[in-house]
Structures are given as C-alpha cells and as structure tokens.
Amino acid sequence: MRSPFLDRVERGPVLADGAVGTLLYERGVPYGGCFDELNLKNRALVGSVHRDYLAAGAELITTNTFGANRVRLAEFGLQDSVRDINLHGAKIARDAREVSGRTAFVAGSIGPILRPLTEEHREPEDQLRAAFREQTEALLEGGADLITLETFSDLDEARIAIDAVRAVCQLPIIAQMTFGDDGFTLEGHSPEEVVEQLKLFGADLVGINCSVGPQNTLETVERMFAAGARRVAAQPNAGLPSRRGQHFVYISGPSYFADYATRFVDAGVSLVGGCCGTTPAHIAAMATVLNEARTPVRAPVRQVSTPATQKPEVVPANVAPTRLQEAINQGEFIVSVELDPPKGLNPTKVLDGACMLAERGVRFVNVADSPMARVRMSALSMAKLIQDRADVETIIHFTTRDRNLMALQSELIGAHAMGVRNVLALTGDQPTLGDYPDATGVWDVDSIGLVGTLSRLNAGVDRAGRSVGAQAGFCIGCAVDPTAEDLDEHIERFWRKLEAGAHFVMSQPLYDIEALHSFLDRIGPLPVPFLLGVLPLQSFKHADYMHNEVPGIRVPEGVRRAMHDAGSAGLSEGIRLAQEFVDAAQERVQGIYLMPSFGRYEQCAEVIDALDSSRRPGTAQASPPLDRHVTVANARSADRT
C-alpha cells in the first residue's frame, strides 16, 4: 500500500514539531515525573502542546510516548498501563490534528529502553523486542500514521526496535540516532555506520535528533548523505542547556533555527524539526522560511457539470438533477467515500482528502453529521466547502437529533440554495454517547419523518402544506442495517422509508457476504439502488474491536482470523479483504459506500482501484439493473420472514 507520508516526503521537505517535553516542562510539569502518564491524567495539557505546534506550521506531530515502554514505565509503577498510555497518546495527537483542521501526520514516538553505556543493566533481546512490539501495537491501535524512533544511541537496540515495529505493521519508520559534538553516538557509531546499518534494518528515513545544536547536526547530516542516505531527518536541540534558577534554558533562538532550516533543506533533508529546547516559536520561524521556498500549489478548481437535457426520473421537471440523480438514472455503479468534518475551525485536512479522492476518480463523498454525538464542524458547512474546492458532489448526512421541525426545514431550504441537495436522512446517535451526555435530543421527527419532509419539499410545500415557492430537487437517501438484531422491525422501518420517498439506500458496514445475500434475498428486487457499506480493517485489534465493541457491526470469525494471521501486514490485508468482499458483492448491489478509519482515505482509494473496470466511478450502465416496474408496495408484500 502506498504511504501518504512517504508520498508527501517525495514532494519536498516536511516540517516536524519541536520538543513536547520542553513545553510540558514550561507549563508546570516537573522533571523527574512521568511525562507519558499525562496522556491519562492531563490530556488537555498534552493536546495543547500538539495544537500549538500545528498552529505554528508543523506538518508532523510526535506523540507524548517517548518513554512509554514497559521497562521505563515500571520505574513509576505503570508497567501495566503501556497500552492505555500509548493508545491515548496517539488519540490525543489525532484529536489535536482534527481540531486544528490541518493536514498533518501523527508520528508514534518510541524512545530507547537501554541506558547508554550500562551493559550491566542490559535487558535480554527478547524482552526488548516484546516491549517495543507492545508499544507499537498500542500506537497503531490509537491511529498513528508512522513510527519514529528517537534518540537511540545503540545500533543494535535500533535494529531490535525496527524488527519489532515491522512485526506489527507496515507503517513508515523514521529511525533517528543521537550524536555527540565529536560526530559519534555514545556507543561509538559513526554517521556512516549508522546510515549503512539503519538502511539494512529497513528504516524509511534515517537521521539525527537531540544531543547537539543545528551546526553540528548539519555536519552529521552531510556525512549521512555522503554515505548514501536518500531520506534524512534532522531535529536538533536548541543548543546546549544552562540552568537559571529552577529552570533549564536553551540559547538557540527561532531566527537561528530559521536560518538552519534553509541550510538543512539545501543539503537535501527530507524532514526538519526540533528537539529539546525548541518551541512553537522555533517551528513558526522555520515554517516561514520553508513556505517562502516552496512553489505554491494551486487547488483544484471544481468543474460545474452541465445539467442534463433529459428529464431525470427522480426529480421534479423544473429542477436540474444532481450528479447523483443522474448516476442513478443512468445505471452507474455509484462509489462514495465518507469524510468526517473536523472537530475544530480548520477544514484543510478534510479538503485535501476530498481533492485527493477526486484525483483518483471519486465523484461523490458523504459528509457525516457529528457521528457518535461528538461535536464537529457542521456537515452543511463542510459540504459547501468541499463542493467549492473539489470536483466532487457531496451526500450530506442529516440527523433529526439536533433540530426541531422548524430549524430542520429552514436548514434544508438553505442547503438547497447552496447546491447541497443529496441528503442521507438519519435519526442520529443518542447524545449520551458523545461529548455532552447531558444534552437533550430533539427528534420532532425520526428518519422516516425526515424522508417525508424532504419529499414534501420536492413537491413544493413544507410539513404544514405551505408553499416554499418552487419544487425542490433533493435526492433522498436512507440507511439500513442488514444484520440488525431486531431485523423484522428494522425491515419494517426500511420499507416505510422507501414509501416516504427515498431514492437510494446505504447500508451499515458489512463483512459477511452471506449476510448480504440473505438480506437481499429476503427483501427481493428494489426500485432504488442499494449502496453497500464497506469499512476496511486496519489490524486484528481493529477487527476485534469492531466485532466486540461497535454496535451493529459483525466481523466473521474467518475475517478476524485472516487479520490475526496477517500480523504486520494488517493494513494490506484489510484492503485485500475489502476488495475481495466488494468483488463478491458487485453483482448484487448498485454501488459502494466506503468509510475510512483514522482518516486514511488512501485505503479507500486502493479498494476503488481494484474495482472491475466496468464499475469504476463514472462508468454508466455498470450496476445490476433496477426493476423500475417494481413498486415499493409490491416489493414489500414479497418480503418473507
């Protein structure tokens, strides 16, 4: 699978963050305590550090997990908290990224276990490997995009760490050693030896962090390139520290780092950032000079499609059809990918994801409406921004949880005016699941009532029968769960949604092809397209979590076993299983609805790339034909329990 991080590195230097520990120390956390434990005890503080670096311009943030391995945590009696500390460390960084809205990578930080030059306390290799593996598994589970090994001084320990990471996953690895001002590690390794060995071990980037300031770091970097390194990372300290009263102070300022950022890039460095003593001010200064050196990239311009001359089948005659309506009428195999709005003010990362998907041929994206009752940017605002930026059309999720009947209709009328006219009608998750468990849901109507409201707007009137001035042109979708525990009641509600006027159906994520066949056989031919929900798995732990902890999701034992057996190739195996499932289902469904985990849109793109050529996005007459003569009433009467 292609790595978005390595793809980004190939396009030019990446700016990383500075010292997490330095900011935590400045904000009142004393040395001598366990910084990693803050991931459990003071998540807001850790998140503020990440957000400050993102605001400064960092494209890569590092989790607060440097010492979060079993051996180091045992010093604080926390050896049984390895999973929680690392998992939440990754989640805190991911949440900070979402709040910032910036396109950035989360690097899972792994520091050394061995103490330099203390052979008498050296742990056995199998214990080291197990500790590194345990930490990696938790960082992967938390959603890290890559792994960074920081401040290693022993090449043999670096080898063990890389082996342990590779046994768990295929994420990119940045392996950074720390050097003294004599140009050697504390264990006596030269830059040339480091490059040769780290490349042999399988690191994607090699580099230097900590120990020395920018000047000596640059000299070491130049030796690494001379030794044949291709991708090099440089994250120096802000000089050497001095003590002033109760605090340590580093003397290298932001302007000095900005000057060296240019020198690092001129030398060919792929990733540049800072270590001890560097702050958001240092990163902001570096961002300024790096942005000036980069060539601006123009955002894709959305091409507005020409309305079809033929009267569409599912919209009133006086309203031009949406692209989705046209696709339904032309029998196109529909492919859509879900995008979650950001948790904060900045939508850049989501917009970049929409543009990437558009470049891969995707024509439709779903925009979720605060799923799991978590506060996010409004789906309507995000949908409008996406359609203005990318050559895709949105399918907005619209819940009845948060709006009374008056506000619901007002927002729908506004959405129509803004060109957001594909609506997936949903009831919405209970507020007790989310950020504000004491908040009250509204639910003047449920999803069935919302479908009916949209149909009335398409007829030119509101719920009270008053004219809205013209017939609307909404393309209306509804949801279905083919594996619902109360399947009889669920199917009854499904038919009522179709009777209320739904034009297409989207399913919950499925992993069992027999469950799909059983459901479709039971309900019989449909007059509207059925879009199959597909959520590629990331790892065995992800599969196990989905099966055991997510309501409405059933992952068959065979799929979980395959993910378990895949080991470190879990990401690739998840894509393969999704491709296999879609291939087996293509003859029964009229489209797929892909849901990425952790914002990994590239996984969905890989699934799309494997589609049969006749079912690629934009291919007409590719889906199993709908029986336009089947009415909802006739189809419903044929449903058998």
Structure tokens that stand for 416 in this block: 């129509």
Spatial neighbors of 137 by CB under 8 A, at least 6 apart, are 83, 168, 541
How high is the pLDDT of residue 245?
46
Question: What is the rounded CA–CA span in Å between residue 617 and residue 191?
Answer: 49
CATH superfamily, with its number, for domain 4-293: Homocysteine-binding-like domain (3.20.20.330)
What mean pLDDT value characterizes the chain?
A: 88
Tokens 């079809």 belong to which residue?
Answer: 308
Determine the average pLDDT of the residues in 544-556. Answer: 83
Q: Give the least confident one: 35-39, 189-193, 211-215, 334-338.
A: 211-215
Q: Is the predicted pLDDT of residue 582 greater than 50, yes or no?
A: yes
**pLDDT of 624 strictly over 80:** no
Q: Do domains 4-293 and 329-638 have the same CATH topology?
A: yes
pLDDT for position 318: 65
Q: Using CA of residue 75, residue 80, residue 81, residue 87, what is the dihedral sign?
A: positive
Q: Where are the domains of the chain?
A: 4-293, 329-638
329-638 is classed CATH 1.20.1440.130: no
Cα 460 to Cα 350, 356, 387, 477, 523: the distances in Å are 34, 37, 25, 19, 31
Instruction: Specify the pLDDT at position 18.
Output: 95
Number of Cβ atoms within 10 Å of the Cβ of 554 = 17
Examine the pLDDT at 590 and tell me if it is beyond 80.
yes
What's the CA dihedral at 346, 348, 349, 350 to 10 degrees? 90
* The predicted structure's pLDDT at residue 469: 86
DSSP state of 16: B
What pLDDT is attached to residue 394? 98
The pLDDT score that the predictor gives to residue 598 is 82
| pLDDT tens-digit readout, 392-447 | 999 999 999 989 999 999 999 999 999 999 999 999 877 766 667 778 888 889 99
**Better-scored residue on pLDDT, 150 or 122:** 150
- pLDDT (0 to 100) of residue 187: 84
User: What is the average pLDDT across 158-184?
Assistant: 94
What pLDDT is stored for residue 120 in this prediction? 46
Alpha-carbon distance of 295 to 290, in angstroms, equals 10
- Return the C-alpha torsion angle 617, 621, 624, 629, nearest 10: 130
pLDDT at residue 502, as a whole number: 97
DSSP conformational letter for 569 = G
What pLDDT shows up at residue 313? Answer: 42
For the segment 497-526, what is each residue's pLDDT rounded down to a tens digit? 999 999 999 999 999 999 999 999 999 999
Residue 310, pLDDT score? 34
Give the C-alpha separation, 610 to 620, whole Å: 18
The C-alpha atoms of residue 99 and residue 344 are separated, in whole angstroms, by 4
What pLDDT shows up at residue 20?
Answer: 95
- In this predicted structure, what is the pLDDT of residue 415? 96
Which H/E stretch holds residue 603? helix 601-609
pLDDT at 294: 59
- Percent of the chain's residues with pLDDT above 70: 88
Closest CA to 224 of 157, 173, 179, 275: 179
pLDDT for 346-378, tens place per residue?
A: 999 999 999 999 998 999 999 999 887 788 999
